[in-house]
Amino acid sequence: MRFFHAAKAAILISCVAWLVGCSASSPSVISSSPHEIAPQKGDASIPPAIVSGAADSVAPRPGSPGALYRYRFRQVAPSSDRFTFQDRELSFYFRPTPAALFMQVENRQDRPTWIDWERSTFEGPLGHSGKVAHATTRFADRFRAQPNTQIPGLQRYSDYLFPIEYLVESQNPDEQLHRPLLPEDHAAPQYQDRQFAVNLTFVIEGQPRVYSFRYEVASVLPR
């Protein structure tokens, strides 16, 4: 009888040990959505590969909190240490970031002007040139006309810009998902000295006028 109870106990212990071992060795099931825009909780060292919108920052060195590298930019055309340009009609201020190119433009005249998005282009850091996406552009807008944006007389307008082909499809049609303008992971050093540009077409007193701005990655440094 003792032998029977001992054997039963040994079998029971073996079964429990086998179940525990299977539980420990089985991989965790993690939902891998193509629209994931942030690293898993607790891993702040991985910058996002896809961003939702583009949040500007007043930090002296723009970039994601978990970025492995940080960028420094220069405006090479028209040359400006302060990322500005103005003429009789308009005044511009830009802020390049890894996520997008932020822009503020002021209409200096007392009559409206328009940004013609359909005739504006963005030259990406990899050399491709195409249409411009901005804050209200969604994935469905890639192949349809974007309406002009009016800037009333003596008013300012703020927006951010990036290549329209960087848009990523979202399950929510009202959400804007896109790849960042520049990577912040181990691929970042490859973008040293690369340039990107935006050519914005404005309609002023019924006539189109193109304003072109070019930027260069002045340095890429590890954080």
pLDDT, tens digit, 9 for 90 and up, residues 190-212: 999 999 999 999 999 999 999 99
Q: Which domain holds residue 83?
A: 65-222
- Do the domain assignments include residue 15? no
Measured CA to CA, the distance from residue 216 to residue 196 in angstroms comes to 7
Query: In sequence order, what are the residues at sequence separation of 6 or more whose Cβ sits closer than 8 angstroms to the Cβ of residue 38?
Result: 48
Contact yes or no for 77/214 (Cβ under 8 A): yes
Residue-wise pLDDT for 26-50, tens only, equals 332 222 233 333 333 434 445 678 9
- Flag whether 156 is in a domain: yes
Candidates 48, 51, 72, 66; CA nearest to 166 is 51
Q: If you ran DSSP here, which 8-state letter would residue 29 be given? A: P
- pLDDT score at 220: 97
CATH code of the domain containing 114: 2.60.40
Residue 20 domain-assigned (yes or no): no
Do the domain assignments include residue 142?
yes
Structural contact between residues 215 and 198, judged by C-beta atoms closer than 8 angstroms:
no
Tell me: the pLDDT tens digits for 102-115? 999 999 999 999 99
| Cβ contacts of 130 within 8 Å, gap of 6 or more | 121, 122, 124, 163, 164, 165
* Domain count for the chain: 1
Residue 143 gets which letter from DSSP? Answer: G
* pLDDT tens per residue across span 107-141: 999 999 999 999 999 999 999 999 999 999 999 99
In a domain, 78, yes or no: yes
Any domain includes 182:
yes
What does the block give as tokens for 3? 């032998």
pLDDT of residue 47: 62
Domain assignment present for residue 104? The answer is yes
pLDDT tens across 58-95, in order? 556 788 888 999 999 999 999 999 999 999 999 999 99
**Has residue 53 been placed in a domain?**
no
pLDDT at 24 over 80: no
Rounded CA Rg of the chain = 26
Instruction: Check residue 66 and give its pLDDT.
Output: 86
Determine the Cα–Cα distance for residues 134 and 145; give it in Å rounded to an integer: 13
Cβ distance 218 to 191 under 8 Å? no
